[in-house]
Structure 1
Amino acid sequence: MTKLIGENVLMRIFIGESDRCGRKPLYEALVELLRGEGFAGATVLRGICGFGAQSVFHTQKLLDLSADLPLVVEVVDSQERINAVMPRIDEMMDGGMITLEKATVIRYSRKNREP
């Protein structure tokens, strides 16, 4: 098992489920951008309830399928790579919030795993 330890940046992009980039959901456009730029991975997390800057409460209810739930797109990479992609992300955003924080990364790889 390979264990790589390094200092990187965790970028979290907070958006709403109904946010769009053209005709595509914004979360999908962001993940496609990150993949196209060669990032190792990105994850979209869906919140079950929350509110943003306008204090509008969004919640997931059994009978409400159009709740515009909060989403978080997370990606971890070097500060340089995050900085390089930020202008493209800025162009796509029409609201929401981005946070950046230092992250110590421990990565496991199965390439050297014993049978």
Structure 2
Amino acid sequence: MRVVKKKLLRIFTSEDESFEGKPFYKYLLERAKERGLEGATVFRAIAGYGKTKEIRKHKLFQLRSSLPVVVEIIDEEEKIKRFLEEIKGKHNGLITLEDVEVIYL
């Protein structure tokens, strides 16, 4: 077993946020892959709220969805910092960065 210190970047967005004509979460996922970052995952929430304090949740007959989405990206600190510089100004929502230990079995 090997344990390595990495950084975990979390970007909080929503299903309806877009950039360059595509969902923002998809833009982030594609950019992370293109930049060779170690891993990225997109999570779709059941419900949540942010700056506006408006609770967003799925409604049965709603045509457009605005559910919260979280993109998690993990890699070495320098790669994460370069990625953050690249997306600067493209998103005004919450972004967190934390230390993690990755366990390779």
If the length of structure 1 is used for normalisation, what is the TM-score?
Answer: 0.84
SS of alignment partner, residue 88 of structure 2: helix
CA distance in 2, matches of 1:67, 1:16: 9
- The residue number in structure 2 matching 1:99 is 96
Contact 2:41–2:72 under 8 Å retained in 1: yes
Between the two proteins, the alignment pairs up a number of residues equal to 105
Distance in 2 (CA, whole Å) between partners of 1:78 and 1:65 is 40
- Name the residue aligned to 2:54: 56
Task: Confirm whether residue 34 of structure 1 aligns to residue 32 of structure 2.
Answer: yes
Show structure 1 runs of 5+ residues with no match.
109-115
Higher deviation after alignment, 49-58 or 84-93: 84-93
Once residues 10 and 22 of structure 1 are traced to their aligned partners in structure 2, the CA distance between those partners, rounded to angstroms, is 25
Deviation at 1:89, TM superposition (A): 1.4
Moved over 4 A (4+): none
Task: Please tell me whether residue 74 in structure 1 is matched to residue 72 in structure 2.
Answer: yes
Output the TM-score relative to the length of structure 2. 0.92
Percent sequence identity over matched residues?
Answer: 36
Paired with 1:104 and 1:30, the residues of 2 have a C-alpha distance of 23
Cα distance in 2, alignment partners of residues 64 and 73 from structure 1:
24
Contact 1:34–1:42 (CA under 8 A) maintained in structure 2: yes
Question: Which structure has the greater CA radius of gyration?
Answer: 1
Structure 2: gaps of 5 or more residues: none
Q: How far apart, CA to CA, are the structure 2 residues paired with 1:55 and 1:21? A: 23
Distance 2:53 2:102 in 1: 34
